[in-house]
Structure 1
Amino acid sequence: MKISPIRMELTQIQREILTALINLQRRESRAIKGEEIASIIDRNPGTIRNQMQSLKALHLVEGVPGPKGGYRAITAAYEAINLDGNDDVVDVPVIRNGSPVEGATANEITFYTVMRPNQCSGIVQIIGNIREFNVDDEIEIGPTPVNKTHIKGVVTGRDDTTNRLLFDIKEMTSIPKIPVKNLARPAITIDPDLSLLDACKKLVDSKARAALVGKNGDLRGLISMEDVVRGMAEGKEEMPVEALMERAFPSVKANEPLHVAISKLGKTGDCQVVVVDSDVPTGILEATDLIRYMIRF
């Protein structure tokens, strides 16, 4: 016989315990000890144990015996705090006044004013403890998993019963989820024996800022306009391209989303990334193309 959960309003501490339990359970994929929950929501471990008995009676939590035991939230617990138990586990960081909030992740963001030019506000549901948030605290949320949205704002209110924060948005950025191949330019290839001067002419004629260096299918490196200009300024215009090319360069798979390419450019400091399709370099994505695309939004 299937036992349905008793329908009743949860107390605030019960909601805090369930959200902390679910957050840890999703992250760790194991039973969670009461002491771990107590640490996250800043409560006495004895209080957690007492409340767990009530949550067991409500058929929201089950106990797991043994040295590695603890507590597990069951499906009804997700429903009780309006979460989808089938969602993939994704942590969306939450930062308060410059410091990450341990054990907290953003579950749902709703915008309720977007038409006013000088004001944009929203509501974020937090899995974890929100009691340390106060009005006028600075908050950062993100990046989110799909469009890599990152939000900065100021807290304007707190609803402890639903674990939601109200906030005014000060800054918001988002990276569209499109594959890098949609923005990449077809790669041109320069013979490694070509002089820097001739390579410069080829780049200019092709309106490209970088080219692959190779011969007969043998890819040897990458040469950028910056490399060419630097070499020519040093009087090396007749030197072969192979002498000044970059032998190591960042690459990204053609179907990867834009944020992967942006992350690689940010880490390496390069101005372009080579796009690879089925292990074959097919294009080059330049930072200027990314900037040009992003300013459309």
Structure 2
Amino acid sequence: MLTSVQKEILQTLINLYRNSNGKSIKGEEIAAIMNRNPGTIRNQMQSLRSLGLVKGVPGPRGGYKPTIKAYHQLNISSTGRETAVPIYRGGERIDDLSVAKIEFTSIPDPGECEAAIKLVGSIKKLDLGDRVRIGPTPVNKLIVDGVVVGRDDMDNIILLDTTAIRSIPKRTVEEVATHELVTLTPDISVKDAAVKLSSLGIEGAPIVEDDEVKGIVTLSDITASIAEGTENLPVSEIMSKNIITVKPETMISDAIEIMNKHNIGRLIVTDSEGKLAGIITRTDILDSIAGLD
């Protein structure tokens, strides 16, 4: 039975080793993270070595490495082939921190659902009260939103008071995208484009010429142009030319990641020949998740 200090040392060693590209970890590195005396770490390492949980590496570049038994002891996968499940705070992904296990502790109670999240990495990056998002997980594409209400540094577990639990459907962009598109020509004026988009109740449209997508314009672009008094310019002057496209067979979970990466709300769908085949928006995806389409 490991002591709390031994568990914390072992967890810290594994966290550091996962990001070291196979290099051994020095006791001083562990001591600095744990805010403990290096001598204490060395003494505890002797016990961990005798238990077969740690192996020492001699020499000037030496240090310590966790054994397979160490991963099993802490119930962590040791294959190195698992897909990293991300954790976000304030919309920003937390580097060097991923999810190893999600366990719902009170899901039968609809008014009070908590989740215990076992993490790989230093959970000291998280504080009580932080609003976080877990996922999506690789298979079921599960996403969990919640507030951190507990933190167990010894077992590397945080406790979430969940605010939302949802699973992204295993559907392709082609199944969700809009295929009957409204398009604009490059020479249409900003003013006329505003009238057209507003009358149809849509937020944006691709700019197409000779079956080729030249750009995309949104109501935000148009509003900014009108505010600057340039509503008589052709939309080609204000459109975004940095077009992000996806193929029809792209999974919507991947489409979400692309939108988040580029901070955009819509993607152009193109066929195998690069021609316009549709458009998918955040609203389309949300409706799919909610089962509204």
- With normalisation by structure 2, the TM-score equals 0.72
The match for 2:3 is 11
- The 8 Å contact of residues 152 and 171 in structure 1, kept in 2 or not, is answered as yes
Matched residue type, 1:25: Y
Secondary structure of 1:118 counterpart: coil
- The 8 Å contact of residues 109 and 125 in structure 1, kept in 2 or not, is answered as yes
Q: CA deviation at 1:82?
A: 1.5
C-alpha distance in structure 1 between counterparts of 2:31 and 2:85, whole Å: 20
Q: What is the number of residues matched between the two proteins?
A: 275
> Do the aligned partners of residues 286 and 74 (structure 1) sit closer, same or farther apart at CA in structure 2, a change above 3 Å counting?
same
Secondary structure of 2:82 counterpart: coil
Compare CA radii of gyration and give the structure with the larger one: 1
Matched residue type, 1:221: G
C-alpha distance in structure 2 between counterparts of 1:133 and 1:48, whole Å: 24
Q: CA deviation at 1:213?
A: 1.9
User: 1:260 aligned to 254, 257, 260, which one?
Assistant: 257
The match for 2:45 is 52
| Structural mapping, 1:109-258, within 5 Å | 109-127=102-120, 137-146=128-137, 147=141, 148-155=143-150, 158=152, 160=154, 162-165=155-158, 167=159, 169-172=161-164, 174=166, 176=168, 178=170, 179-186=172-179, 187-194=181-188, 209-225=203-219, 240-244=234-238, 246-254=239-247, 255=250, 257-258=254-255
- The 8 Å contact of residues 169 and 289 in structure 2, kept in 1 or not, is answered as no
- The 8 Å contact of residues 25 and 63 in structure 2, kept in 1 or not, is answered as yes
User: 1:286 aligned to 277, 281, 292, which one?
Assistant: 281
- The 8 Å contact of residues 204 and 218 in structure 2, kept in 1 or not, is answered as yes
> Do the aligned partners of residues 41 and 92 (structure 1) sit closer, same or farther apart at CA in structure 2, a change above 3 Å counting?
farther
What root-mean-square deviation, in Å, do the aligned CA atoms of Structure 1 and Structure 2 show?
A: 4.1
The match for 2:268 is 274
Provide the identity percentage: 29
Secondary structure of 1:169 counterpart: strand
C-alpha distance in structure 2 between counterparts of 1:33 and 1:195, whole Å: 65
Secondary structure of 1:138 counterpart: coil
Extract unaligned runs of 5+ from structure 2.
Answer: none
Matched residue type, 1:288: T
> Do the aligned partners of residues 127 and 211 (structure 1) sit closer, same or farther apart at CA in structure 2, a change above 3 Å counting?
closer
Matched residue type, 1:282: A
Secondary structure of 1:62 counterpart: strand
The match for 1:71 is 64
C-alpha distance in structure 2 between counterparts of 1:22 and 1:11, whole Å: 17
> Do the aligned partners of residues 133 and 264 (structure 1) sit closer, same or farther apart at CA in structure 2, a change above 3 Å counting?
closer
> Do the aligned partners of residues 217 and 65 (structure 1) sit closer, same or farther apart at CA in structure 2, a change above 3 Å counting?
farther
Matched residue type, 1:27: N
> Do the aligned partners of residues 94 and 50 (structure 1) sit closer, same or farther apart at CA in structure 2, a change above 3 Å counting?
farther
Extract unaligned runs of 5+ from structure 1.
Answer: 1-8
Q: CA deviation at 1:250?
A: 4.8
C-alpha distance in structure 2 between counterparts of 1:67 and 1:181, whole Å: 57
C-alpha distance in structure 2 between counterparts of 1:232 and 1:101, whole Å: 39
- The 8 Å contact of residues 117 and 160 in structure 2, kept in 1 or not, is answered as no
